[in-house]
Amino acid sequence: MDRFLGFVKKEFFHIFRDRRTMIILFGIPIMQLMLFGTVITNEIKDARIAIYDQSKDEVTQEITAKLLSSGYFLLDRNLESAKDIEGIFKQGRVKEVLVFGRDFSRKLKREGKANVHIIADASDPNLGKMLASYTTGIINDYIFKQMGDLHLPMQIEPEVRMVYNEGLKSVYMFVPGIMAMILMLISAMMTSISITREKELGTMEILLVSPLRPAQIILGKVMPYLVLSIINALVILGIGHFIFGVPIKGSWVLLMGESILFIMMALSLGIMISSLAKTQMVAMFISLIALMLPTILLSGFIFSIENMPLPLQVVSHIIPPRWFIVILRNIMLKGVGLAYVWKETLILVFMSAVFVTVAVKKFKTRLE
Amino acid sequence: MIEVRQISKSYNDVQALKDISFSVEKGELFGLIGPDGAGKTSLMRILMTLLLPGGGEAKMAGLDVVKDYRKIRRLVGYMPGRFSLYQDLTVEENLSFFATVFGTTIEENYDLIKDIYVQIEPFKNRLAGRLSGGMKQKLALSCALIHKPEILVLDEPTTGVDAVSRKEFWEMLKKLQQQGITILVSTPYMDEAGLCDRVALMQKGEILSIDSPEQIVSNYDRPLLAVRSDEMHRLIHDLRQWDQVETAYAFGQFVHVTPVDKQVKPETVTAYLEQLNHQNIQSSFIRAGIEDVFMALMTRESRSVQSQ
């Protein structure tokens, strides 16, 4: 036991004395969280629009005022002719142009029908789609409120409610994703690098000829990263909850339990990588390319799995963060208990077991 | 204490060790001498249980290097060829780490390492990576000794170390030997061979000769001439061109010449060189040193390989 503790102590020295390691451990998580939480967002805020109002009557004025007061849109300018539309899009600042037809309010009252064109810049398709739907929503809302007393012959009014994330805040989605990504990065990459570093520097040779058992070496390597990853998980959840207001409806205990399980899975993956890689470079490349990219692209963190082509959907099953993100979202946003996430939990347990087995089998008590 | 019987080892197509056999007595200081690529490191790694031999068997303190590798690892101290301590730990942290790993403490075995450790103790709070070459070796030796090993295996401990530190290092090995530790050391420096009790001259995975340095030298029966002139470079060239000369190697200020004919006199060489306008020629018989013998053995070996 003293041996093991001595080894763990040595590992902590390595970590705390290497500035790069410290930055990766604590700088990157916080930075990424801040970046994803604030900069990269699917929400619309202060999008610049131009309006070509051919009627300039009270209804179009009211609709314009309602749009601009929503907080989503900012009026860039008023256009005087249809010819200007193309030019203004080319300038690039304005993302949407609204064209009200002639005699808007009169037509609306007399024929119950009036024309408004919504032209959105779809060079960013998601943004264009969203702008259009936000605008339509606001206009419809206005019409319903104004014409409520008209009693049309038949009317279906869909009432939409976005449960678990009423405000459609993207940070709700990013926090679990970032958590999975960062824990993966720290646990798998850092352990694999720290083990391969011993191989590269030749110190593994001395450790091997010492009475330390392979299990002691591996556990000693992993232990500090387990502790630091748990701290990181708490920090990420803390920032998400207290700064970005992501709700944590389920139990903290279950949440941390699942996080620790995921960390262990990532650590065993890291050990497995280190037993396959000979140098730190190789270990880092495997971790980055084989772990980070799938984590970002295939885990459902940014792109939803349901919309992927079938082959990629199949591949996504072997991406551990996919399951962890489901668990996190369920616990944090829906507040469910273990009864609802036992399947995903079991998958993670199984994956850890596989990685540990391979790692232990592959760990060499000799140099070859 | 160390028994090696017909050990061989191949890496892919390259045969690094060819049926090596030798044994080291308890308390002996045994040297493996040979150039890079002779197979010294492979042999040591096999003995240290870090590599599996391709064939043959070896025993350390009576324990088989394949079957009893775990037991061997407890009673052997090892210093690999590369500096293999933690550069980001201080001198003291390194030492106490290795003490802990072997289930002991610095205090418990301080006697054994005292002579060596006092020299680096003033720098005990310095990071190991910032030590000079000689001090690194002293630290590595201290770490290899911290668990009181019965056998000490040192792979080229003096490579890349200055002359003074090399001398000190060998003095330390002598002291350790007096305490009853069996030492197996490898080195590419032939002048260090004379400091061992017995040496094995190795080349290309084979042992050319095993004996005490004195015996190796006295068994050598060829005459040897030391020759010099003002133009060293041309001298070697001219001597090698001469059909009376079998080999000519530079040794410091002199060229050591093995003549083809055993009866050749120093005067003959001088006369030959005078014809070629060499100035300040000196030529005399000398006693062969271990280096000369090794050079001769190596040349003979490669000739017999060529004639096959």
Q: What is the pLDDT of residues A299-356, one digit of tens each?
A: 887 778 888 888 888 888 888 999 999 999 899 888 888 888 999 999 999 999 999 8
DSSP state at residue A155 = -
Partners of A206 on chain B (C-beta within 8 Å) are: 78, 80, 84-85, 98, 143
User: Is B80 close to A211, i.e. CB distance below 8 A?
Assistant: no
Q: Are B238 and B245 in contact (CB under 8 A)?
A: no
Side-by-side strand order, sheet with B206-211: B76-79, B151-154, B182-187, B29-33, B198-203, B206-211
Report whether pLDDT(B307) > 60.
no
Chain B residues in contact with A5 by the CB 8 A cut-off are 100
**Start-to-end CA span in chain B (Å):** 37
Residues on chain B touching A210 (C-beta within 8 angstroms): 73, 98, 101-102
Q: Which residue type is seen at A68?
A: L
Both tokens assigned to A248:
């944590």
Tokens of B53: 């031999």
| CB-nearest partner of A205 from B84, B86, B101 | B84
Residue B268 binned pLDDT confidence (cut-offs 50, 70, 90): confident
Q: Is A20 on the interface with B (CB under 8 A)?
A: no
A8, closest residue in chain B (CA to CA) = B97
C-alpha pair distances (Å), B146 with each of A83, A210, B81, B120, B188: 88, 12, 18, 15, 26
Residue A183 corresponds to which amino acid?
L
**CATH-assigned architecture of domain A47-150:** 3-Layer(aba) Sandwich (3.40)
Residue A41: what pLDDT? 60
Candidates A51, A48, A55; CA nearest to A95 is A48
- Which two structure tokens, joined as six digits, stand for A15? 């970590």
B-chain residue closest to A18, CA distance: B88
Which of A10, A202, A210 is nearest residue B82 as measured by Cβ atoms?
A202
Rounded Cα distance between B191 and B188, Å, is: 9
CB B243 within 8 A of CB B268: no
Question: Across residues A157-171, what is the average pLDDT?
Answer: 72
Helices (H) and strands (E) in chain A, counts: 17, 4
Can you tell me the distance from the alpha carbon of A363 to that of B223, in angstroms, rounded to the nearest whole number? Answer: 56
**Confidence class for position A168, pLDDT limits 50, 70, 90:** low
**What integer pLDDT is reported at residue A368 of this predicted model?**
67
**A212 reaches B (C-beta below 8 A):** yes
Q: Is the pLDDT of residue B302 over 80?
A: no
Evaluate whether B290 touches B213 at the Cβ level (below 8 Å): yes
Task: Please tell me the total number of residues recorded for chain A in this structure.
Answer: 368
A94 CB neighbour count, 10 Å cutoff:
22
Report the residue from B69, B76, B86 with minimal CB separation from A203: B86
Q: What is the pLDDT of residue B186?
A: 92
Q: Kindly determine whether residue B97 and residue A3, on different chains, have CB atoms separated by under 8 Å.
A: no
The whole-number pLDDT of residue B45 equals: 92
C-alpha B121/C-alpha B113 separation (Å) is 11
Phi-psi region of A49 (alpha: psi -120 to 50; beta: other; left: phi over 0): beta
Contact A14/B86, CB-based, under 8 Å? yes
B101 vs A6: CB contact, 8 Å cut-off? yes
pLDDT for B305 equals: 59
| pLDDT for the residue B24 | 93
Domain boundaries, given as residue ranges, for chain A: 9-40+169-362, 47-150
Asked if residue A244 lies in contact with residue A175, where contact means CB atoms within 8 angstroms, the answer is: yes
Q: At what angle do helices A320-329 and A171-184 cross, to 10 degrees?
A: 140
Q: How far apart are CA B229 and CA B281, in angstroms?
A: 4
Q: ipTM value, please give it.
A: 0.80
How does residue A8 score in pLDDT terms, banded at 50, 70 and 90? very high
Torsion of CA A204, A207, A208, A211, to 10 degrees: -170
Strand partners of residue B33: B187, B201
Distance from the Cα of A15 to chain B's closest Cα (Å) equals 10
B84 near A CB under 8 A? yes
Domains annotated on chain B, with CATH: 2-215 (3.40.50.300), 225-287 (3.30.70)
User: What is the full DSSP assignment across A65-96?
Assistant: HHHHHTSSEEEEEE-SSTTHHHHHHHHSS--E
Interface test with A, best of B10, B12, B41, B50 (most A CBs within 10 A): B50
Q: Does B93 sit within 8 Å of A13, measured CB to CB?
A: yes
Does B51 reach chain A within 8 Å, measured CB to CB? yes
Tokens 């080291």 sit at which residue? B24
pTM (global) more than 0.80 = no
Distance from CA of A190 to the nearest CA of B (A): 17
pLDDT of residue A347: 94
User: Comparing C-alpha atoms, which of A313, A317, A270 is closest to residue A291?
Assistant: A270
The token pair at B1 is 């204490």
Give the pLDDT band of residue A365 (cuts 50, 70, 90): confident
| 3-state class (DSSP) for residue B197 | coil
Measured in whole angstroms, how far is the alpha carbon of residue B258 from the centre of its chain? 24
- Which residue shows structure tokens 């207001």? A245
Residue B277's pLDDT is what? 84
Structure tokens, B20: 């090596």
Put simply, whether B78 touches A (Cβ < 8 Å) is yes
Cβ–Cβ contact B106 with A under 8 A: no
Q: Does A83 touch chain B (CB under 8 A)?
A: no
Q: Which chain A residues contact residue B80 at CB under 8 A?
A: 202, 205-206
Band (pLDDT 50/70/90 cuts) for residue B214 is confident
B182 pLDDT above the threshold of 90: yes
Q: Which chain A residues have a beta carbon less than 8 Å from that of B43?
A: none
* Chain A CB contacts of B88 below 8 Å: 13-14, 17-18
Of B50, B83, B96, the CB nearest to A367: B50
What is the distance of C-alpha B2 from the center of its chain? 17
* Confidence class for position B94, pLDDT limits 50, 70, 90: very high
